[in-house]
Amino acid sequence: MMERTVFLIDMQSFYASFEKVYQMELEDKPVVVAGDPDIRSGVILAACPVAKQWGIKTAESLWEAESKCPDLVVIKPRMQAYLDASIEIASVLELFSDQVEPYSVDEIFVEMTYVLDSYDGDADSAARVMKRHIKRMLGVNARVGIGPTKVLAKMACDHFAKKTPDGIFTLTKTNLQEKLWPRAIEDLFGVGRQMEKHLRNTGIRTIGQLAHFPLKQIKKRWGVNGELLWHTAYGEDSSPVTVDTHIHRQGIGHHMTLARDYYSWAEIKVVLLELSEEVARRARANGYMGTTISTGAGGHDFEFPASFHRQRKLEDYTNDGTIIYQTVLRLFEEHWDGYPLRRVGITLNQLIPDTFRQLSLFHPIQDKEMLNHTVDDLKERFGNDAILHASSLTRAGQALLRAQKIGGHYK
């Protein structure tokens, strides 16, 4: 049986490298792309290799970066341009394989199993050709993680390819014990901050220790998620590389980091209404309805986090913002303890196509559906700020600002 080969292509310092391509005078300068300093305190989104030599890291604050490098060149993000470039890169990769799956703006999976014969079965040779094509056509450097599964390709890129001279690394089931298992448990794909704490409190500090931990006890303590992480430690992952991964969704959500602490219930309700309407609009745009609504919120202090995350199942499927909003209000009233909020999110889960709907004699919905689609059409034609709730024009509203952005950053 032919051994599978998957590539994960990662663009090195993508946003910053992209800006350097279009501003040649910045080639040898320390460049970072950062969020709006006036709104989000200037979080570093990307730092070029020259800036990284000064010790600047992604996600640190702009003032910290500038204290390390006084000559730092700071550029505001242009998300639409980066998205367009990402699409171009995917098109380049489709010259190599017809199975190309965007994973994020700067990361793309490519199934190479059946096309390596063109390179005499040499994955490294194919990776080098890919890197040259991307560099020649878009001017940015790529790194390539290679593995027999998507999860191994991802970890090969994240933890090893970024540190090799040629930016290529292969992680297989024959070398993962030597290379992957000694690494800290938080380096395992899928281990977040909370899971890291749970695992460390159990005495599991490396990936290898998790791999050697009895699976029966893992399942008993952490259920399906724990079992998945145990299999990930062995590089086991059956998920295919597919172009429609992001089409068949399990949930549609919208999350927001607020520009300041929100203390009052009146202000928080404004943001919850905006988020509810945005989630509903996205669901309708993608042709979905959902029956479970989840919401969560948190404060700004990551060292002593105050947060909650709860969900509620509805009687009927919906993609109506008002229903989502009313459900979220009830969840907040039950679970928010009154601490100031800096992060808020809402997700519509358990999706089905909105082609069919169970009609109710007691809850007519046809008129509301027509209204929702009319509003959607207006926003599609004239922009997201073409029609708003009056509350969005208050100091608490974020909709006008978000209408100027993609993914929370300026277009």
* Binding residue positions: 10, 106
Q: Specify whether 107 is catalytic.
A: yes
Q: Quick one: 294 exposed, middle or buried, by C-beta within 10 A (0-12, 13-18, 19+)?
A: buried
State the DSSP code for 24.
G
Annotated binding-site residue numbers for Mg(2+): 10, 106
Structure tokens belonging to residue 19: 């800006």
Give 43's contacts (C-beta < 8 A, 6+ positions apart): 34, 35, 59, 60, 61, 62
Separation CA 58–CA 164 (nearest Å): 20
| 68 Rama sector, left if φ>0, alpha if ψ -120 to 50, beta otherwise | alpha
Pairing of strands 251-262, 73-75: unpaired
Separation CA 161–CA 147 (nearest Å): 12
Active-site residue identified among 3, 64, 101, 107 = 107
Separation CA 166–CA 63 (nearest Å): 33
Separation CA 285–CA 107 (nearest Å): 25
Separation CA 267–CA 255 (nearest Å): 16
Q: Would you say 299 and 340 are in contact if contact means Cβ atoms under 8 Å apart?
A: yes
First-to-last C-alpha distance (Å) of the chain: 47
- Show which residues are catalytic: 107
